[in-house]
Amino acid sequence: MVDVFEAISREGCEQALFCHDPQTGLRAIIAIHDTTLGPSLGGVRMRPYPTEEEALADVLDLARAMTYKFAAAGIDLGGGKSVIIGDPATAKSEDLLRAFGRFVRTLGGRYIPGIDVGTTQDDMRTIGLEAEPVSCVGVDPSPYTALGVYAAIRACIRHATGSPDLEGARIAIQGVGHVGEALARRSAEAGADLVLADVDGARAERLAKELDATAVDADDIVTVACDVLAPCAVGGVIDEETVARLGCRVVAGGANNVLADPRVAETLRARGIVYAPDYVANAGGVILLDTERAGDPPERAADRCWELGDRMRHILERADAEGISTLAAANGLAEQRLGEGRSEASALEAQLVTRAQRVRRYYELVDAGRLEEMYALFHDDVVYRRPGYEPLEGIEALRGFYEGERVIREGAHTVSSVALDGERIAVEGEFGGVLHDGSRVTVRFADFFVFRGGRIARRDTYFDAPLV
């Protein structure tokens, strides 16, 4: 029996949600690995996992890979993934997908689903009937994933031979689904000699015939003599035993978690085989999604996918210079960005705490009549707005209000809640006191503060009665 919390802790995962809907038979796991850089995004994989333990191990590995993928690609998103246990050919239904969407909705946007093995863009649209947001419902990301892999292959071939030219290079592609097929077509246009394989042998045969390529059995593809082995199906295909039988100079593909164990990267290095870390090579699809989120055209995504070749070249050079595997080099770059993100988050959190403290300090000082100390909390060009009154603009106007115009003689503020949002802080509370005419008042208030740097640049006040 797997220790779920130990497994989650080992992978550094923030959250794992186990989903069960008895009416549809849904059994699914959603893993959120790290949200340092932003909400988590990752595909929904549907497979008939032999055991729940294998499903959990897969989703945790995949979610972690997504964290590193976004960090290495310079994208402000976190890593997440989900798996639905079942055969997509027989168990998938609209009701099941909608039930899954309802579980996604409970996460409040912390996880954004996308397509993966066993799911399609139409499936995401169905999930989107229950959850918001979802990804992969616009332009098909597969060709962009393939473009990024192609750019990575060129960088690796250049590193191995001195030239990025793929004319005559032999490329063996394992898996010719959406990504593998797009990679095959692009490589064929570049003049590469292709060897294709797929668990659906007929599909590989059809594409091989169209592209004048060679089709081989799925079990034989990893041992084919070639320049590049491009795994574009499921992960875990290269382990210590497989490395000894590889017939390639480069491993670079579109699959996630190609290595059965991270230590295999060092074995590949010892054999002189150039390995393109998969989460760098296959980042083209998420680059498209990030481009769409920013409202930019797909052409911008294509440009960024080509830049993955430069990123891969930097990783290869760093690995050589430091005498480490390419995976270690890529991990180092990703962890550096995650560290910077955590530092920024900690600094922002500290700023928010400081701002909240200064807002609370404002009420303490004004209630105590310590006005000079209170004025120091505000910018010289502060703007103070109250319904029914002209805005007070500047520190002198604020001074004139508190020292002459304010109808309150004395009293105290009781703060019941403080909400923080970057430079803005909202406060709810109650004021009780005495006006200059001697009457007593008790009113609810809401204050909204805007900070600029460390001081208050704007304040808006609202009362539940027109007394003060």
Question: Which residues are designated catalytic?
Answer: 81
Cβ(17)–Cβ(105) below 8 Å: no
- Phi, psi values for residue 321, rounded to 5°: -65, -35
Give, as one character, the DSSP assignment of residue 238: B
CA dihedral over 162, 166, 167, 171, signed as positive or negative:
positive
Q: Copy the structure tokens of residue 465.
A: 């009665």
C-alpha closest to that of 307 among 284, 290, 338: 284
Give the DSSP letter string of 409-434. EEEEEEEEEEEEETTEEEEEEEEEEE
Cβ(103)–Cβ(17) below 8 Å: yes
How do strand 392-393 and strand 378-385 relate by DSSP bridges? Answer: antiparallel
For the chain, how big is the Rg over CA atoms in Å? 29
Burial readout 415-431 (b: 16 or more C-beta within 10 A, e: otherwise): beebebeeeebebebeb
Judged on CB neighbours under 10 Å (0-12, 13-18, 19+), 89 is exposed
Distance between CA atoms of residues 37 and 462, nearest Å: 35
Give, as one character, the DSSP assignment of residue 451: E
Distance between CA atoms of residues 394 and 373, nearest Å: 16
Cβ(195)–Cβ(221) below 8 Å: yes
Distance between CA atoms of residues 55 and 118, nearest Å: 14
- Phi, psi values for residue 104, rounded to 5°: -60, -40
Cα atoms found within 13 Å of the Cα of residue 356, Cβ hemisphere only? 17
Distance between CA atoms of residues 79 and 71, nearest Å: 9
C-alpha closest to that of 289 among 113, 132, 102: 113
